[in-house]
Chains A and B, each alone.
Chain A
Amino acid sequence: MDDELRHHIECEVDEHVRAGMSPEEARRVAVAEFGGIEQVKEDARDAWGTRPVEEFIADVGYGARVLRRNPGFTAATVLTFALGSGAAAAIFSVVYGVLLRPLPYVDPDRLVVLWERNASRAAERNVVSVANFQAWRERSQAFDGMAALVPRPVTLTDAGGPERVAGTEVSPGYFRLLGVTPALGRDFDPDDENRADSRVVILSDGLWRRRFGADPAVVGRTLSVGGTPHSVLGVMPSGFEPPQFGWLGAQELWFPFQATPENRAWGRFLLVVARRRSSVSLERARAEMTILADRLAREVKADEGWTVTVVPLAAQITGDVRTALLVLQGAVGLLLIIAVINVGTLSLSQTLRRAPELATRRSLGATDGRLFRQLFAQSGLVGMLGAAIGGLVAWPTTRLIVSLAPAGVPRLDAVRVDTPVLLATLSMALLATLLFGTVAARGRPGADAALVMRSTGGRTTALAGGGALVVAEIAVALAIGVMAALAARTFVSLRAVDLGFHADGVMAARVALGAELGDSPARASFEALLERVRVLPEVQAAGLINTRPFGGLGVATDVTDPRPARPGPAPSLVADVRVADAAFFRVLRIPTERGTVFGPHEPTSGTPRVVISQSLHDAFWRGEDPVGRPLRLELYGGITADVIGVVPDLRLMDVRTPPRPTAYLADARFPDRERDLVVRFRGSAESIVPSLRTVLSTLEPGATLYRITMLPGLVAASLARDRLTALLLSGFAGLAVLLSAAGVFGVISTETARRRKEIGIRLAVGAAPSRVVRMLLGRALSRAAAGVAGGMAIALLFAHLMKSLLFGVAPHDPASFLTIAIVVVAVVVIATLVPAVQAIRSSPLDVLREG
Chain B
Amino acid sequence: MSKDKVSTVLTPKADLLQGTLDLLILKALAAGPRHGWAVSKRIRQMSSEVLTVNQGSLYPALYRLEDRGWITSAEGVSPEGRRIRLYRLTPTGRRQLSTEIEAWRAFSGAVDRVVATE
Contact = CB atoms under 8 A, between A and B. Distances in A.
B55 A3 contact: no
B60 interface: yes
A43 B82 CA distance: 21
A810 interface: no
A4 B63 contact: no
Contacts of A10: 78, 80, 82
Interface in A1-50: 1, 3-8, 10-12, 15, 33-35, 39-40, 43-44, 46-49
A35 B84 contact: no
A49 B55 CA distance: 19
Contacts of B64: 47
Given A4-B83, A4-B84, A35 B37 contact: no
A5 B38 CA distance: 12
Nearest to A37: B55
Contacts of A3: 78, 82-84
Interface residues of A, number: 22
Given A47-B60, A47-B67, A48-B67, A7 B84 contact: yes
Contact of A48 (B37, B55, B63): B63
B36 interface: yes
Looking at A15, A34, A43, the one whose CB has the most chain B CB atoms below 10 A away is A43
A10 B82 CA distance: 10
A44 B37 contact: no
Contact of B56 (A7, A11, A15, A35): A35
B78 to A, nearest CB: 5
Contact of A43 (B40, B41, B60, B84): B60
Looking at B36, B37, B80, B84, the one whose CB has the most chain A CB atoms below 10 A away is B37
Q: Is the interface of A mostly helix, strand, loop or mixed?
A: helix
A203 to B, nearest CB: 73
Given A47-B63, A47-B67, A49-B67, A8 B36 contact: yes
A43 B64 CA distance: 11
Contacts of A46: 60
Contacts of A11: 37-38, 41
B59 A35 contact: no
A85 to B, nearest CB: 41
B59 A7 contact: no
B59 A40 contact: yes
Contacts of B59: 1, 4-5, 40, 43-44, 47
B94 interface: no
A1 B84 CA distance: 8
B60 A7 contact: no
Contacts of A7: 35-37, 78, 80, 82, 84
Nearest to B38: A11
B56 A40 contact: yes
B35 A35 contact: no
B76 to A, nearest CB: 10
Given A3-B83, A7-B35, A8-B37, A44 B54 contact: no
A8 B67 contact: no
A1 B61 CA distance: 14
A198 to B, nearest CB: 82
Contact of B85 (A4, A33, A40): A4
Contact of B36 (A4, A33, A39): A4
Contacts of A8: 36-37, 40, 55
A47 to B, nearest CB: 4
A4 B78 CA distance: 9
B36 to A, nearest CB: 5
Chain B interface size, as a band, is: 20 to 34
Nearest to B78: A7
A385 B61 CA distance: 42
A4 B36 CA distance: 8
Contacts of B84: 3-4, 7
Interface string B14-45: 00000000000000000000011110110000
B83 A39 contact: no
Interface in B43-80: 54-56, 59-61, 63-64, 67, 78, 80
A293 B22 CA distance: 84
B87 to A, nearest CB: 10
A35 B52 CA distance: 14
Contacts of B78: 3, 7, 10
Contacts of A5: 55, 59
Nearest to A12: B37
A35 B55 contact: yes
Contacts of B60: 40, 43-44, 46-47
A48 B64 CA distance: 7
A34 B55 contact: yes
A696 to B, nearest CB: 91
Nearest to B84: A7
Contacts of A15: 41
A142 to B, nearest CB: 62
Interface string B77-110: 0101011110000000000000000000000000
Contacts of A1: 59
A749 to B, nearest CB: 46
Contacts of B83: 3-4
Nearest to B35: A7
Nearest to B40: A8
A186 to B, nearest CB: 72
A43 B78 CA distance: 23
Contact of B63 (A12, A33, A34, A44): A44
Contacts of A44: 59-60, 63
A39 B63 contact: no
Contacts of B80: 7, 10
A598 B35 CA distance: 114
A3 B38 CA distance: 15
A455 B70 CA distance: 49
Contacts of B61: 47
Looking at B40, B59, B67, the one whose CB has the most chain A CB atoms below 10 A away is B59
B82 A35 contact: no
Contacts of B55: 5, 8, 33-35, 40
A4 B73 CA distance: 12
A36 to B, nearest CB: 8
A433 B38 CA distance: 52
B43 to A, nearest CB: 14
Contacts of B63: 44, 47-48
Contacts of B41: 11, 15
Nearest to A48: B63
A17 to B, nearest CB: 14
Interface string A48-76: 11000000000000000000000000000
A1 B38 CA distance: 16
A788 B82 CA distance: 73
Nearest to B83: A3
A12 B80 CA distance: 14
Looking at A4, A6, A48, the one whose CB has the most chain B CB atoms below 10 A away is A4
Interface in A576-621: none
A40 B36 CA distance: 13
Contacts of B54: 35
A49 B64 CA distance: 10
24 contacts: A1-B59, A3-B78, A3-B82, A4-B36, A4-B83, A6-B82, A7-B35, A7-B37, A8-B37, A8-B40, A10-B82, A11-B37, A15-B41, A33-B55, A35-B55, A40-B56, A40-B59, A46-B60, A47-B59, A47-B63, A47-B64, A47-B67, A48-B63, A49-B67
Interface of B: 12, 35-38, 40-41, 54-56, 59-61, 63-64, 67, 78, 80, 82-85
Q: Top 4 nearest A-B pairs by Cβ distance?
A: A47-B63, A11-B37, A47-B60, A3-B82
Given A7-B78, A7-B80, 16 more contacts: A3-B82, A3-B84, A4-B35, A4-B85, A6-B82, A7-B36, A7-B37, A7-B84, A10-B78, A11-B41, A12-B37, A15-B41, A39-B56, A43-B12, A46-B60, A47-B64
Interface of A: 1, 3-8, 10-12, 15, 33-35, 39-40, 43-44, 46-49
